[in-house]
Amino acid sequence: MITVRVKRRPDGAVSAVTIDGHAGFADPGEDLVCAAVSGISFGMMNAIEMLLQTPLPAHQGKSGFLHCEVPDDYPEQSREKMQLLLEGMIASLQAVSLDYGEFIKVLDQNKK
């Protein structure tokens, strides 16, 4: 199962996202759920870098691991746009979990 953990600041802003695991929906290379999660998460990171000209510190590892932290020191305008892109990523991952809930779980720290 893929687990997405969203950590938020007291004001509700996303402070970190961690994605870990494999869906197990199909064989490696044919797993639509893993492909969707990868496309959504890496698409968001690329969008932030390309559109905002701002790198997002991230660590990638084995077993589908991806962790990104949102620094506090971005200018306000960049921070707002980055939050919008991150919320879009979270909404997209939640949409995948609606159809494939036994293969992906999204745990959002301040939301039920």
**Residues labelled catalytic:** 22, 34
Q: Apex CA 99: angle with CA 84 and CA 6, to 5°?
A: 35
Contacts 24+ apart (CB under 8 A), 79-87: 79/13, 81/51, 81/52, 82/48, 82/52, 82/54, 82/56, 83/13, 83/14, 85/44, 85/47, 85/48, 85/51, 85/52, 86/14, 86/17, 86/44, 87/14
